[in-house]
Amino acid sequence: MSISVFELFKIGVGPSSSHTVGPMVAAHQFVQDLRRQTHLGRVTRVEVQLYGSLALTGIGHGTDMAVLMGLLGEAPDTIDVDSIDDKQRTIERDQRLKLGGEHEIEFVRDRDLIFHCDEFLPQHANGMTCGAFTGSELLFERSYFSIGGGFVLSDEDFLHKDQIATVLPFEFASGKQLMERCHQHGWSIAELAMANEKAFRSEEEIKTELWNIWQVMEASIDRGCHQHGLLPGGLKVRRRAAELYRELSKQTPEERCKGLAILDWVSLYALAVNEENAARGRIVTAPTNGAAGVIPAVIAYYVNFVHDPAKHGDLREQVVKFLLTAGAIGMLFKRNASISAAEVGCQGEIGVACSMAAAGLAAVKGASNQQIENAAEIGMEHNLGLTCDPIGGLVQVPCIERNTMGAVKAINGARLALRGDGAHIVPLDSVIETMRQTGIDMQSKYKETSLGGLAVNAVNC
């Protein structure tokens, strides 16, 4: 199964890729399926049942909101995020919903949106079943699974998931095969990734779209640096990025680069993005929402503190190289392990983002393919076993600060790899397999259910 870099970097809405973006995509897909079946005009009621992790942390992760928006026909990459609250209030007040934006039906939230907190569907921890009725007759029913990073498979797709992905001209199923293919063609990892993407769009289109991905990332940093107040959800978490930005902006150019001061800026970038994510703002899933701040923070570090046009060339080309390299690494985790915290814990989110960011940074700093693989391996190796135990089911504590740590680790991982010659004892494939096995062994209470760890101990202190 191979995927495009644009599936790992998707413009969307916070706070969660698996619990917000995925369910919105699934509900939208359900409406499209109804339309294809010519059932849409006959529907009088829909019922959405949420299972497992989607039910347990659904309210805090905005799953309920996402389902409603998807049923309205909205999509994560195009929805006006400022309109969400008004649309949600209107549905709850009128108990009516325009299915697909065109066919009005009755919708009673407490009746038609059902949370099965003690039941998991066998295919995946993030499952939901949508049913459409005309009167008491069931017209159409389908289950969907949010498998991480905003990826969604229907129950039918799930049976054939290895056959539905795009076939790439330079397929690679492992880190070893990726390195061999690069060596065979004399390419960097980014060049091989570009060759694959060019099978479906022009090189200029790829570069333009990747640059746009960075522009959205940069905009989320900028917006996060200028927003104040408390984050939604009840924990009363205060936004810190704006105050930190105000303090850091007082520094002279010399002070910004002195000692560890740069790391304060890296932390700021990550905080800003993930506060925007927690506030249900516009962000880029990279490769998940919970870890959406890591890669933007590391790119911003490169742009603001490392890039020298005389040494590194055009900034746009370097950002493209970063994202293509990071995307190739992310594909390995997506294929051979998981990027879903509900499956493997936060090692599949922050850990994967850290590995991708370390590889991307090493690439734009001139690393060899062996050094890039080493950087990616370091990035994950030191996130193995990381649990997902969000307090209150919200993507806030410890998620926001965890992005700052992931970004700093990524920078250090790239620096360590660049200090070496690319030789390393632990192959990237071994780390990916270890992450997968660790995720299997991890108890479900530590996998985005808010039934263990900080989610229960912090509130008891």
CB 113 within 8 A of CB 50: yes
Please write the tens of the pLDDT for every residue from 174-191. 999 999 999 999 999 999
Q: Nearest 5°: phi and psi at 139?
A: -85, -45
- How far, in Å, CA of 187 to CA of 200, rounded? 19
Report the percentage of the chain scoring pLDDT > 90.
Answer: 92
Reply yes or no: is the peptide bond before residue 398 cis, omega within 30 of 0. Answer: yes
**Is it the case that residue 2 has pLDDT exceeding 80?**
no
Please write the tens of the pLDDT for every residue from 311-337. 889 999 999 999 999 999 999 999 999
Query: What predicted TM-score, i.e. pTM, was given to this entire model?
Result: 0.93
How confident is the model at residue 298, as a pLDDT?
98
Q: Averaged over 356-364, what is the pLDDT?
A: 98
**Is it the case that residue 164 has pLDDT exceeding 80?**
no
Sequence-ordered strand ranges (E) for 261-315 = 282-285
Please write the tens of the pLDDT for every residue from 395-420. 999 999 999 999 999 999 999 999 99
In which band, very low, low, confident or very high, does the pLDDT at 49 lie, cut at 50, 70 and 90?
Answer: very high
How confident is the model at residue 308, as a pLDDT?
93
**Is it the case that residue 163 has pLDDT exceeding 90?**
no
- How far, in Å, CA of 171 to CA of 78, rounded? 31
**Is it the case that residue 459 has pLDDT exceeding 80?**
no
**Is it the case that residue 1 has pLDDT exceeding 70?**
no
How confident is the model at residue 461, as a pLDDT?
41
Q: Which two tokens stand for residue 332?
A: 């390995």
